[in-house]
């Protein structure tokens, strides 16, 4: 009786740990293959193709996300600040929120949906139709041939996409604040410039590097381990998105904690202000 209750728990645990181990090995091999591909010009055309598919095609969707985030922040925050007579500082709030958190995170989430889904579906279909085994059977490492270019493209381009999201977020917030809410344009920019630091902007962009890596590795892993049939591919896509999404949020949290520690070590006084 007790035994039959404990057994499934143990079984699940073993399975989870096994999966984690397999993912870690995949991650290590993907990282190694990406490093090698980085240094070998032979693989550049493949990376270039992926950059086009992953990066260029994602610009519109990321820009739209950014713009709406900026605009909605302006509308939501205005009343609170206006109530205290601080409406001219609206730009501070919008721009810090966009540049530090919302721009990077929401751009990454959009990418997880757009790129992650496409990567998992593509690799998953290749897996169930034995194309991945075919690559391997011809003496080519599928991780180097299929995963590395996708990981590199995501790593390099996610930060750039975040810049686009930030830019549009700032512009969207500006238009709503100045044109609709009639805030003085000069004051809006002056207050923003005083309080948003280059550090904030850079940290948002650096995060993109980690988010991009997480999206690519998780999506490729789910594609590579996808089960047979159309249902298998569909499920792998869902799991890839959920996995990427949670990783983005978790990484973002870890990043915030670590960066705060670093920041207060180097600039202890400012953080007290």
Among 38, 81, 131, 187, binds other proteins (CB under 8 A): 131
d(CA 100, CA 97): 6
225 binds other proteins (CB under 8 A): no
Among 130, 180, 185, 267, binds other proteins (CB under 8 A): 130
Among 24, 40, 76, 133, binds other proteins (CB under 8 A): 133
Closest to other proteins by CB, 126 vs 214, is: 126
129 binds other proteins (CB under 8 A): yes
Among 5, 138, 257, 273, binds other proteins (CB under 8 A): 138
Closest to other proteins by CB, 114 vs 145, is: 145
Instruction: Name the minimum Å distance from CB 135 to other proteins.
Output: 8
197 binds other proteins (CB under 8 A): no
Among 141, 190, 197, 239, binds other proteins (CB under 8 A): 141
Closest to other proteins by CB, 81 vs 135, is: 135
10 binds other proteins (CB under 8 A): no
């Amino acid at each position: 009786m007790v035994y039959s209750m404990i057994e499934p728990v143990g079984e699940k645990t073993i399975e989870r740990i096994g999966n984690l181990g397999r993912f870690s090995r995949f991650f290590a091999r993907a990282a190694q293959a990406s490093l090698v591909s980085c240094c070998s010009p032979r693989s550049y055309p493949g990376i270039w193709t992926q950059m086009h598919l992953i990066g260029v095609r994602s610009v519109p969707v990321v820009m739209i996300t950014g713009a709406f985030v900026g605009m909605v922040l302006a509308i939501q925050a205005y009343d609170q600040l206006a109530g205290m007579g601080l409406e001219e500082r609206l730009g501070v709030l919008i721009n810090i929120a966009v540049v530090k958190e919302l721009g990077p995170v929401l751009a990454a989430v959009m990418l997880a949906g757009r790129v992650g889904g496409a990567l998992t579906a593509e690799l998953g279909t290749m897996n169930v139709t034995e194309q991945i085994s075919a690559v391997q059977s011809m003496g080519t490492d599928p991780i180097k041939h299929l995963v590395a270019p996708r990981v590199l493209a995501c790593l390099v381009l996610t930060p750039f996409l975040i810049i686009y999201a930030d830019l549009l977020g700032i512009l969207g917030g500006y238009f709503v604040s100045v044109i609709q809410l009639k805030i003085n344009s000069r004051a809006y920019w002056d207050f923003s410039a005083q309080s948003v630091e280059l550090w904030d902007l850079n940290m948002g962009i650096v995060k993109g590097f980690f988010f991009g890596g997480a999206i690519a590795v998780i999506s490729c892993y789910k594609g590579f381990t996808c089960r047979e049939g159309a249902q298998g591919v569909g499920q792998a896509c869902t799991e890839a998105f959920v996995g990427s999404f949670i990783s983005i949020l978790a990484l973002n949290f870890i990043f915030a904690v670590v960066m705060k520690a670093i920041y207060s070590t180097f600039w202890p006084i400012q953080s007290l202000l």
